[in-house]
Every structure is written in structure tokens, then in C-alpha cells.
Amino acid sequence: MTTTKTHNAAMLRALSDAQTIVIKVGSALVRGADNAVNMPWFNAIADDLRALQAQGKRIAIVSSGGVALGRETLGIDFTTPPSQIPLALKQAASAVGQYHMYNAYHRALAAHDIPTAQVLLTLSETENRRMYLNARATLDALMSQNIIPIINENDSISTEEIRFGDNDRLAVRTAQMIDADCVILLSTIDGLYDSNPHEDANAKHIPLVETITADHEAMAGDAIPGLSTGGMKSKIQAAINAATCGIAMIITDGQERSPLRALQSGEKKATLFKAQTSKKGARKNWISAHLKPMGEILIDDGAAKALHAGRSLLPIGVLNVSGTFERGDIVTIHDKSGHKLATGISAYTSAQAKMMAGKRASDFTEELGITGRDELVHRNDMVLVQTND
């Protein structure tokens, strides 16, 4: 496979500076031409991982491929997009293929005396603060012993309502959980283009994205039929989630042997989405990374201005409350045009918030008998959406 020297100093610096890296592997990479495990690729990536560990880097792998490797056993045609496979059949295929996928990583890395661990996560576990912290502690304990966790979504028990949906998002969620510095997405495309390179011969490769804009989102295409659940749209959203938490993200083609070694050499095409300059900290990362908030709060212009000035959300500025949530649940906050402004932890239930909307603290205390803090969402429990203005 021909590679192009990008001379992307920012990308090489991001790789060099990163102490903890999450590597996401796409389904198309783990399945060979005979529809079985692509063992030569696994052996080559194991060499790359050994080299990264020798540089003192902590590594976690988020790998797709369970469904891809289990399709044949379940009689699922390889041209059928994952979205068109019935959930129960997809879960069964994942249960079959997950063993073969993990076993391939185990065998390849064992040849270098690198131990591995299998970790299966669900969205509901990472949305629960206590379980999130437990998973974080487990992954940290593994990596501190130079054990590489092989992470995948627990498809056999996930439902459509509580799924990550694709492993691009799971990779970033994992990176946020373990305070990683960089996420590398290995897929079948070598980065972001200004148009679909499969359809436009003049498509221009974009090696560096300083700040993600709506134009970048518009450039994204759809997933590859038959294998992937993500596509570039998924990767752009993952990049947004990573960058806002101070995590760099790199997209590159992982089909060649030893793609990570080639990436570090600077002779491989890739796109770097730069991290923002500061990290929020583990707790605020957990808040901002929520994929399934329990409710939405619509606020007026005065409250929106207060939020941007670093203040808490008071009930008097609330126009509408939707969803059903309890005290301590995650909610999103929107201006009156519907634009998302922030994510935060509600200090009250949805029923209480609806009664409090538009009222001063003294009013809802005296009239409604609701006692507690004055703020509906305190500023310390809130993460503002970053804007590109």
C-alpha cells in the first residue's frame, strides 16, 4: 500500500507526547479474505503495540469485529449492513465472533509476552457514575501492570436504547474514562477529505483540523455497507467529543501491516483533530460525555447569558422542561432556539423542575414547599458546549 509523507509535525508531536493511547480497530481490519480472523494483521499490530509499550506508553484497544467474525456461523450475508440485521441475530453473531477476535489478540500479543484482558462495556454502565469509576479503576489497574485491555461493547446484553451504537464513540468514552491523551482510529480510510474520495477523484485530503466546524461535519460520508456501523460522520462526532475533553484524535487507514509504526514514522496519511488546550478533569469529562441524557431544559436569553458568564442555572430562567429525570441525573440545557448550551447534573427531579420553572427561589420554597439549593443546575455540575465563534 502506498503511503504519503504528510510532514505533519503536530500529529507527530501528539503521538510523541501521548502517555496513554486508545486505539480503535475497525471491523474490516480483523476479518481476512477468507472471512476468518486476519491473523497476519494481528501479528503485525502486535509488533506495533510492543514498540509503543517500549516507549513507556499505556495502551488500551477498543476493537470491533465480533459481528463480522460471527456472521458466517449465523448465516448472515456479508453484504447486509449491521443496521439491517435483527438485534437478536446481531447479538448472537457477536457472541460467536467475540471469542475469535479476542483470541487473536491474545495469541498475537502473547508471542511478545504481553498479557491481555477482555473488557466488555455497555452504555448504561458508563452513564452510571459509580460503575463508571469502577470500570476506570479496573482499566487503570490493568494498564499499570502493562496488561493491554481489549475492549468491546457487550452486544449480547445491550439493547438499541442503551447502545453506544459504534465503537468510535466507545473509544472516545474509554479515553475520557482513563484520561488518555490520544485516540487513534484505524479504519479503511486515511483521514478526512473535503469530499468523498471514492466518488470524487479530486477530493482533497485534510491532514490537520485545528477546530471542528459545521463544514467538517458536512464533509463526512456514511459507513461501509456490510461491515461498519460508523463511517466518517461517526468519526467526526467522536472527534468533537474527544477534542472538547482535551484529547487528540487521529484517523488513518489501518489495513496495511504495522500501521502504527508507519504513523509514527510520519510517512503515512492521516488526519489529526487537535485537542483543546485544557482538560476538564475526570468528573466534568463524565458529565460532558453522556450519550443518553435524561431530560432537556429550555432557557431564556438572560439565563443563557448567565451561563456563558460562568453562573449557575436558576429556575427563573427556565422556559420548559422535558423528559423524566431524578435528582442527580444528567440533563442538557438549550437556548430558546433549541441550540445546546450545556450538559449538567440536575439538583431536582423533572416534576419539581417543571413546577419551579420561571419562579424565584423564594417563590418555589413558599408556594410549592420545595426546599433545597437555589440552583437547578449548579455551575460546578455543568459543562458548557464549546463554540467556534
pLDDT of res. 226: 40
Entry pTM: 0.77
pLDDT digits (tens, 9 = 90+) for 97-116: 999 999 999 999 999 999 99
Looking at 56-60, 212-216, 354-358, which range is the least confident one?
A: 212-216
* Residue 348 main-chain phi, psi, to 5 deg: -140, 165
DSSP-assigned letter for residue 197: T
The C-alpha torsion from 83 through 119 and 233 to 39, rounded to 10°, is -80
Looking at 64-73, 86-95, 218-227, which range is the least confident one?
A: 218-227
Q: Buried b / exposed e across 147-177, counting CB within 10 Å, b at 16+? A: bbbbbbbbbeebeeeebbbbbbbbbbbbbbb
Name the packing angle between helices 66-74 and 87-110 (round to 10°): 120
From CA 204, how far away is CA 197, in angstroms rounded?
8
Percent of the chain's residues with pLDDT above 90: 46
- Cell matching residue 19: 502517555
- Mean pLDDT, to the nearest integer, of 10-16? 91
Range with top average pLDDT, 167-176, 219-228, 283-292: 167-176
* Residue 31 main-chain phi, psi, to 5 deg: -100, 125
Domains of the chain: 9-280 (3.40.1160.10), 293-384 (2.30.130.10)
pLDDT digits (tens, 9 = 90+) for 38-70: 999 999 999 999 999 999 999 999 998 888 899
For the chain, helix (H) and strand (E) counts, in that order, are 15, 15
From CA 73, how far away is CA 54, in angstroms rounded?
38
pLDDT of res. 218: 73
pLDDT of res. 368: 64
pLDDT of res. 287: 81
pLDDT of res. 300: 96
pLDDT digits (tens, 9 = 90+) for 114-143: 999 999 988 777 777 778 888 888 999 999
Per-residue pLDDT band for 229 (boundaries 50, 70, 90) equals: very low
Asked if residue 148 has pLDDT above 90, the reply is yes
Q: Quick check: helix, strand or coil at residue 360?
A: coil
pLDDT of res. 365: 67
